[in-house]
């Protein structure tokens, strides 16, 4: 991202008193877990949890934009999620296409840019089309980069990166060369990884990129995770002392 772009984002930011405006994470990555449990405790079908989860997504995007976060990566569909019942997979895909269609104007107003990390060409054609249309519409924006991890698996990403590198004629990899072939090429590594619903797992999410990220796990279920929860996570992040292996 250019200096100009981050400056533009900063000029619009509204930072609550609980946060230090000079130490807002550049990149926040979220494992959005607990939609199914949220629905179950209410006697609702699992998809009702995913639907409410879309409201949390909207709130996270808006809040990150306001705070001047540069990148928000959301784990929306993992390569393992194909193992779920076909009806749930279809409903998740339908929800994604519907949310994009409905939100793209609002995203545009908020200067959001869109990217996808994952095996894009294996997604349903209508979802690919909606994503392509949205990315095209938002491509000149200079605010928050919303990076959707879709049909994403970190091991697959690393394999894809190695194979892409080999095809491009790489004979010997360095960290920089490998990173350049990841889906996230050009995106800074996450400063903060948030996982909702209490599970202490990384679940094949951004394995390469989170080498030095701060981890924040909250028992709050994703549909209940709203702006104040995100601000609390960032406040805790700001209280940590990052050493990157040094002293």
Q: Active-site residue numbers?
A: 33, 81
Which helix (H) or strand (E) covers residue 215, if one does?
A: strand 214-218
Cα–Cα distance measured from residue 185 to residue 177, given in angstroms and rounded to the nearest whole number? 10
Please check whether residue 177 is in contact with residue 170, taking contact to mean a CB–CB distance below 8 angstroms.
yes
Which of 29, 30, 50, 165 binds ligand FPP (CB under 6 A)? It is: 50
| Stretch 130-149 residues interacting with ligand FPP (CB under 6 A) | 148
Tally the C-alpha atoms within 13 A of residue 223's C-alpha that lie toward its C-beta. 17
Indicate whether 202 belongs to the interface with ligand FPP (CB under 6 A). Answer: no
Cα–Cα distance measured from residue 75 to residue 203, given in angstroms and rounded to the nearest whole number? 10
Which of 24, 35, 127, 209 binds ligand FPP (CB under 6 A)? It is: 35
DSSP SS3 for 164: helix
Indicate whether 153 belongs to the interface with ligand FPP (CB under 6 A). Answer: no
- Of 50-58, 126-134, 166-174, 180-188, the window that binds ligand FPP (rule: CB under 6 A) is 50-58
Which of 76, 144, 149, 193 binds ligand FPP (CB under 6 A)? It is: 76
Which of 25, 29, 34, 184 binds ligand FPP (CB under 6 A)? It is: 34
Which helix (H) or strand (E) covers residue 35, if one does?
A: helix 35-40
Question: How is the beta sheet containing 113-117 ordered, strand by strand?
Answer: 113-117, 145-152, 71-78, 27-31, 192-196, 214-218
Which of 8, 89, 95, 202 binds ligand FPP (CB under 6 A)? It is: 95
Q: For residue 218, which of 209, 210, 228 has the smallest C-alpha distance?
A: 228
Size of the site for ligand FPP (CB under 6 A): 19
Indicate whether 96 belongs to the interface with ligand FPP (CB under 6 A). Answer: yes
- Binding residues (CB under 6 A) for ligand FPP: these are 32-37, 50, 53-54, 57, 74, 76, 81, 92, 95-96, 99, 148, 197
């Amino acid at each position: 991202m250019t200096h100009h772009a981050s400056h533009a984002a900063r000029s619009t930011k509204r930072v609550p008193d609980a946060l230090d405006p000079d130490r807002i994470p550049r990149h926040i990555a979220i494992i959005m877990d607990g939609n199914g449990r949220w629905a179950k405790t209410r006697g609702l079908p699992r998809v009702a949890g995913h639907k409410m989860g879309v409201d949390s997504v909207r709130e996270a995007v808006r809040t990150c934009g306001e705070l001047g976060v540069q990148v928000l990566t959301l784990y929306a569909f993992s390569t393992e999620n194909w193992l779920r019942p076909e009806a749930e997979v279809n409903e998740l895909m339908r929800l994604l296409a519907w949310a994009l269609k409905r939100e793209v104007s609002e995203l545009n107003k908020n200067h959001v840019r869109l990217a996808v990390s994952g095996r894009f060409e294996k997604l349903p054609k209508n979802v690919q089309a909606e994503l392509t249309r949205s990315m095209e519409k938002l491509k000149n924006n200079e605010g928050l980069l919303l990076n959707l991890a879709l049909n994403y698996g970190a091991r697959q990403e690393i394999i894809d990166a190695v194979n892409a590198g080999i095809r491009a004629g790489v004979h010997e990899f360095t960290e920089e060369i490998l990173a350049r072939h990841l889906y996230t090429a050009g995106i800074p590594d996450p400063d903060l990884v948030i996982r909702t619903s209490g599970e202490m797992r990384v679940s094949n999410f951004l394995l390469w990129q989170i080498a030095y990220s701060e981890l924040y796990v909250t028992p709050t279920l994703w549909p209940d995770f709203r702006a104040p929860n995100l601000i609390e996570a960032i406040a805790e992040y700001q209280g940590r002392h990052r050493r990157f292996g040094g002293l």
